[in-house]
Structure 1
Amino acid sequence: MSSEKRLSLNALSGLSADIRTPAYDPRDVKPGIVHLGVGAFHRAHQAVYIDDLLANDPQWGIVGASLRRADMRDALKAQDNLYTVAVRSGEGTRLRVIGSIGSIHVAPEDPETLLAALCDPAIRIVSLTVTEKGYCHDPATGDLNADHPDIRTDLENPRAPTSAPGLLVEALRRRRDANTVPFTVMPCDNLPANGPTVHRIITQYASLLNEGLARFVERDVAVAGTMVDRIVPATTDRDTAEITAALGLNDAWPVVTEPFTQWVIEDRFPTGRPDFAAVGAEMVSDVEPFERMKLRMLNGSHSTLAYLGYLAGYETVSTTMADRNFERLIHALMSDEIMPTLDMPGTDLGAYRDALIARFHNPALKHRTWQIAMDGSQKLPQRFLGTVRDRLAAGAPIDRLALGIAAWMRYVTGTDEKGAAIEVKDPLADKLRSIATETGRDPERLASAYLSLGEVFGQDLRDVPEFSRPVTRALKTIFERGAAGAVEAAAS
């Protein structure tokens, strides 16, 4: 399709009437939010909520920022920063064009321009979706990892940072020095207690620079915790081609998602906020119970499906769930081991479980198990280990949780059940592969070596027999019977 047929502001009027377009002129929108991490999830989630409210309140447009690469900026800039959200279900696909992102900056390319945007007095919220690893912290403790390469680099040149903690703190320092009120930080990643955790991380980073700055960040900067929920698979070339054909215009980087969406926000915005509730967000005083519910039930189950499903030869979540043994396993995992650890009066956890299972079955999403399996060393502490600790404290069994953890151990060895290489995407990939090479296929040695990784499992679990034994036993079963056989045994 020629460049003249590209998605753009001028082309919106020619779209089919059944394609939803912005109910405002994006050229009239003023920026009020900077968002760090303009990836697929943000564009299918927060940017959609903001798009809903801009018709009534145009002062909350988004300035986007990529902390790594320029490809998203380049793709969207050529189409006036518009893009398409394709909502897919078994009933078909609905298209919507989003206009809430006004511009995108690339931090490594030009940190000063991004910092200038962060220091604009009109910016009252800085939100983030940088994934767990983007916070440069120790997932086992929730503290800043001062030895992280990005943090070391930023500490050497703190006026031109590129990490998320470095950018936030430098912008806050400049705003303080200019007598500009600090923005509210709003993390939207899957971290336990993400508000307090991120507040602690940026305070700890500031303390490495200046104690006065650290006191300012700790006392005067608000961090609003959130829980976000929407399944957003990576966009494939086939997705792009299909959406472009349905749109009648070339969209270089659309996003694909499911009908379900949820955003729970701690109402902690001393310098103002949009009317999030008017567009469907839930404003609460304490987001932590919702975070825990989602991390344990959705994310923990998702990772279990990803590792076991990949090893069993299933490419997507929906094809994995089509195997009745996997569906029974996930239902039992949530019902028997996860839900008893959640204290949420007034919330129907059974209904939430059933809705999750229905979402996992959505055949239109094609959410790849390999994609979900990425960065497992960062995800396991958030998605599994809190549940494990609560179960152990109650003297309760953890057999299904242990199977998910053991499947991660088998996956990160880097070789699948047919002897083919697995492309393991993880910050600890080299260390994990080296351990597997040294221990071989001995489940006791392999489990013991992986459990000794303090950055994943902390210091309290390795020598607890009620934890190490079921994990080792599950790993032994996966090696002997394969992932599908282990799931069949656990589901029976």
Structure 2
Amino acid sequence: MQKLNKNVVSKTNRPIKILQFGEGNFLRAFCDWIIQEGNDKGLINSNIAVVQPIEFGRVKELGEQDGLYTVILEGLKDGEVVRSKTVVDVIDDFINPYPEYDKYLEYAKSDDLRFVISNTTEAGIILDKNDTDFSKCPASFPGKLLALLVERYKHFKGAEDKGLIIIPCELIDKNGKELKLILNDLAKLANLDEGFINWLNNANTFCSTLVDRIVPGYPRDEIKELTEELGYEDHSIVKGEIFHLWVIETSDPKVQQEFPLDKAGLDVIFVEDLTPYKQRKVSILNGSHTAMVPVAFLYGIDTVRETVEHDVLGKFVKNTIFDEIIPTLDLPADELDKFANEVIDRYRNPYVRHELLSIALNATTKYKTRILPSVVKYVERKNELPKRLLFSLASMLVFFKGERDGETIPVSDNQEFLDMYNELWASYDGSRESVQGMVDKYLGLKDHWEVDFSGIKGANDFVVDSVYAIMKDGMKEAVKAVL
């Protein structure tokens, strides 16, 4: 069977306006797929030159298929099973800057170039203080980008209109601002002149982003069947979920004007502050994930999908989101409801098997960062306890006893927390008094929680009652009290 290339599927000739650092599954199934949609709808007319950010990567393999690859998206949308196939043709040049440094720097001189997109993993946006020799390919992503910007500044003699729009997608907080800070630090370490540093900060626009799509990647287990279905071999095929969200933070109107992907019917949002959207994701998606794990697992369920489709546990998850998490957030109600329903569809995705135990890793810290802020805000706003969120905390304490139905279960967390749980459960003798002592110590970890539970009226007693009920009657009975 023929390999996918431009003899099998034609490519569209477009100017290369985007330089992309990274050729991994996420960028290709998320950013590049979105850019394909924007091109197909006549909004941006742009192709991509992809830069391999590390010495060993896949740009050569992408080039062998002329940059063509297939994105298969699967999941639920509005409760209905959806599956789509798209051949993405936007990648038009392939650069390994280590042996092709001169070719890489040539892009600094391009009149067409307007955007830089990146996903070099969380470890990519770091300051390497020694990465200041631009006569050869710098080692770090910030070093490579700074070298390109220096070359562009020189070539265009500091022209203000030749700055770039830089949109990093690495999963770190305020990624655009962090990248800008690192570039400034690196420029000073390299003794670059003030004229360049002013141009770096004033002519270029750095956008922080929030990105969200689950991308399982290359479907190795299904490749034979997919090849038959597609009618060609594709060594760069990538699978992802239907859901996608790209929030781009900017106060510069030209970003949305030049990159109007929000007009393509996609979940691309331009905002001046992405903080509420990050809080929405952390609270609703990550928070409900963390809240369901100990409750559902101790109930006898093993996966996310089974949990939300269960008569009792599905109600627990939905009520937790809509009744206790959403009231603590500050976006419009219709936006919050839409996102919450999309989250539930993602949980019910029949193409993904998401094990609860895989989410349980580092649950003690996850509860603190993902759920506890909702607990505090709920009490402040409602003057009552968010009983499902606190029941999840009680369930987590029981989960770390390391038993389900009399059998040992694997638990994972920082060793200091595992030692703490072992010590707490060593004091348990089946009495309510021993549970009281455990919970007093557990909620009294102020250095960890950074919250004074004693100031939340009734919280301690509720958690004690919940732990005692789970241990005495089992999860199936105990959970009924919070439904």
TM-score (normalizing by structure 2) = 0.70
**8 Å Cα contact 1:392-1:466 kept in structure 2:** no
2:184 maps to which of 206, 209, 218? 206
Q: Deviations over 1:189-246 (max 9, x none)?
A: 5656x4xx53145315523652957665544432234444444334442243432231
The structure with the larger Rg is: 2
Percent identity between the two aligned chains? 20
1:358 maps to which of 338, 345, 361? 345
**8 Å Cα contact 1:87-1:256 kept in structure 2:** yes
Q: Is 1:327–2:314 an aligned residue pair?
A: yes
Counterparts of 2:86 and 2:113, CA distance in 1? 26
Q: Deviations over 1:90-130 (max 9, x none)?
A: 646332211122345567x6694796377353331122345
Corresponding position of 1:64: 50
Corresponding position of 1:298: 285
Corresponding position of 1:29: 14
Correspondence 1:177-256 to 2 at 5 A: 177-178=154-155, 179=158, 181-188=162-169, 194=174, 198-204=176-182, 206-207=184-185, 209-210=187-188, 212=194, 217-256=200-239
Q: Deviations over 1:137-166 (max 9, x none)?
A: xxxxxxxxxxxxx53xx1122345554555
Q: Is 1:84–2:70 an aligned residue pair?
A: yes
Q: Deviations over 1:431-486 (max 9, x none)?
A: x5432464452356996899757xxx7xxx16665689699979978996999669
Q: Using a 3 Å threshold, how does the CA distance of structure 1 residues 34 and 333 change in structure 2: closer, same or farther?
A: farther
Corresponding position of 1:139: none
Amino acid at match of 2:166: V
Deviates more, 1:366-375 or 1:178-187: 366-375
Q: Using a 3 Å threshold, how does the CA distance of structure 1 residues 29 and 361 change in structure 2: closer, same or farther?
A: same
Corresponding position of 1:175: 152
Counterparts of 1:105 and 1:377, CA distance in 2? 43
Counterparts of 1:73 and 1:204, CA distance in 2? 26
Corresponding position of 1:343: 330
Counterparts of 2:461 and 2:228, CA distance in 1? 51
SS of the residue aligned with 1:7?
coil
Counterparts of 1:69 and 1:310, CA distance in 2? 43
Counterparts of 1:379 and 1:450, CA distance in 2? 15
**8 Å Cα contact 2:176-2:209 kept in structure 1:** no
Deviates more, 1:169-178 or 1:29-38: 169-178
Q: Deviations over 1:14-41 (max 9, x none)?
A: xxxxxxxxxx624x23321123344333
- TM superposition shift of 1:369: 5.1
Structural RMSD (CA): 4.8
Name the count of aligned residue pairs. Answer: 442
* Gap runs ≥5 in structure 1: 13-23, 137-149, 425-431
SS of the residue aligned with 1:340?
helix
Q: Is 1:11–2:8 an aligned residue pair?
A: yes
**8 Å Cα contact 1:84-1:98 kept in structure 2:** yes
Q: Is 1:44–2:34 an aligned residue pair?
A: no
Counterparts of 1:442 and 1:104, CA distance in 2? 56
1:126 maps to which of 116, 120, 130? 116
Counterparts of 1:408 and 1:165, CA distance in 2? 41
Q: Using a 3 Å threshold, how does the CA distance of structure 1 residues 260 and 78 change in structure 2: closer, same or farther?
A: same
Deviates more, 1:71-80 or 1:338-347: 71-80
SS of the residue aligned with 1:50?
helix
SS of the residue aligned with 1:320?
helix
Q: Deviations over 1:238-295 (max 9, x none)?
A: 2434322311222224222333444444563647724324422455443524443334
Counterparts of 1:421 and 1:110, CA distance in 2? 47
Counterparts of 1:54 and 1:86, CA distance in 2? 18
Counterparts of 1:478 and 1:105, CA distance in 2? 61
SS of the residue aligned with 2:50?
strand
Counterparts of 1:245 and 1:162, CA distance in 2? 41
Q: Using a 3 Å threshold, how does the CA distance of structure 1 residues 396 and 491 change in structure 2: closer, same or farther?
A: closer
Q: Is 1:98–2:100 an aligned residue pair?
A: no
Q: Using a 3 Å threshold, how does the CA distance of structure 1 residues 346 and 484 change in structure 2: closer, same or farther?
A: closer
Corresponding position of 2:434: none
Counterparts of 2:86 and 2:396, CA distance in 1? 37
SS of the residue aligned with 2:71?
strand
Counterparts of 2:395 and 2:94, CA distance in 1? 38
Counterparts of 2:61 and 2:466, CA distance in 1? 43
Counterparts of 2:223 and 2:469, CA distance in 1? 37
TM-score (normalizing by structure 1) = 0.69
Q: Using a 3 Å threshold, how does the CA distance of structure 1 residues 284 and 88 change in structure 2: closer, same or farther?
A: closer
Counterparts of 2:219 and 2:473, CA distance in 1? 29
Q: Using a 3 Å threshold, how does the CA distance of structure 1 residues 294 and 433 change in structure 2: closer, same or farther?
A: closer
Q: Using a 3 Å threshold, how does the CA distance of structure 1 residues 359 and 421 change in structure 2: closer, same or farther?
A: closer
**8 Å Cα contact 1:325-1:491 kept in structure 2:** no
SS of the residue aligned with 1:232?
coil
Q: Deviations over 1:22-78 (max 9, x none)?
A: xx624x233211233443333222212211233546752123345458454455343
Counterparts of 1:120 and 1:470, CA distance in 2? 67
1:158 maps to which of 116, 132, 137? 132
Counterparts of 2:328 and 2:141, CA distance in 1? 32
Counterparts of 1:353 and 1:336, CA distance in 2? 11
Correspondence 1:471-482 to 2 at 5 A: none
- TM superposition shift of 1:9: 1.9
Q: Using a 3 Å threshold, how does the CA distance of structure 1 residues 250 and 405 change in structure 2: closer, same or farther?
A: farther
Counterparts of 2:43 and 2:473, CA distance in 1? 55
- TM superposition shift of 1:340: 1.3
Corresponding position of 1:286: 272
